[in-house]
A = this chain, B = another copy of it.
C-alpha cells in the first residue's frame, strides 16, 4: 500500500570516504554517481558527500572508520584489508578468481553476498558492488618476462590481496610505495615492474615510457570488484524508502563503472600501442607457476581458517559451473568472433 509517512521523513546526510583519488575517474566516478543518484531519487532529501582518499581518513582507514561509526559509507577494494583477515579478498579479487559477470552472479544469485556480509557483520559492514574493472592487465615491466626464472628477485609494486603471497613464492620482491613514486622508481631502476589496472587507468601514469613491456592477462585479477561498504547501524536507521534508494543507487553506479571501463579501455590500449608499448602474453610456464603458487596460498589459508575454506570452496564450485557453461556459450561465440572480420 501507499506509505505517506515516508514523505514526512527528515533530511539525511551521509559521508562516503573513498579509498581512491579523484584522478581515477572511472572508480571515483562511481562514488559520485552513487551520490548523484541518491540525491535524485530522494528529491534532494538524502545527500551523500563524497570524499577522496585522505580527505577524511587515509585510503586504508575506511574499514576502521566504518567499524567505529566515523563515516556511514566507504568505497574501497576489499582486498586492501587482508591484513585484518584474508577473507576480505573474496569481495574484490583473488588469483585465478571470478570474472566480472561471474562475480556479479555469485554475489547476486549465488551465495557470495550472503557469505561475505555474514563475515563483514563483525566490522558493522554491509557490502554492495561499486563496479568492476573487468580482467586487468598483468603490469608494466622494464625487461621481458620470458620464463618463471625472470620473476626471481624482480622488484615489483603490487596491489592488495592474496596474490602478493603467491608472487613471493615465485621470488618476486614486493615493493610498497605510493602510486605517485612509481614512475620515478621505474625510471631510476630501483623498481623493475609495477601492476596497476588496465589501459584506461594506466595510460594516465605514463608507465609505457619507462617500462615498455605490458603483460597480459593479470591472472591475479580476472576481475576486480570495487565495493561500497555501508555501516550497518546507519543503514538500519533509514526509512524503508531510503534503504531502497541506497540499494538501487549502488547498482546504478556499479553498472555505470563497469560499462565505462569496457567502452574506454580499447581506445586507451590503441593509444598505448601507438606510443610504443609492447604487448606481451605471459607464457603458459609463467601462468602455470602462478596458478600452482596461488593454489598453495589458498591451501595454507584454508588450513588455518574453516571460514576462509567455506567461502573459497563455495566460490570455486560456482566458478567451475560458470566455466562449464561458458564453454558452450560466450567462449565459443567469442572465439568465432575473434576469427572473423566484422
Contact = CB atoms under 8 A, between A and B. Distances in A.
A238 interface: no
Contacts of A44: 1-4, 6
Contacts of A248: 37, 41, 248-249, 251-252
Interface in A32-56: 37, 40-45
A105 B43 contact: no
Contact of A334 (B99, B199, B336): B99
Interface stretch (A119-127, A141-149, A159-167, A323-331): A323-331
Interface in A238-285: 239-241, 244-245, 247-249, 251-252, 254-256, 258-260, 262-267, 269-270, 279, 281
A139 interface: no
Given A1-B44, A104-B259, A134 B330 contact: yes
Interface residues of A, number: 89
A68 to B, nearest CB: 29
Residue of A247, A248, A316 with highest tally of chain B CB at under 10 A: A248
A281 B331 CA distance: 12
Contacts of A11: 2
Given A217-B329, A333-B135, A7 B321 contact: no
A255 B251 contact: yes
Contacts of A337: 96, 222, 319, 323
Given A6-B44, A99-B333, A320-B342, 8 more contacts: A7-B43, A96-B336, A99-B330, A108-B260, A251-B255, A279-B328, A319-B342, A326-B338
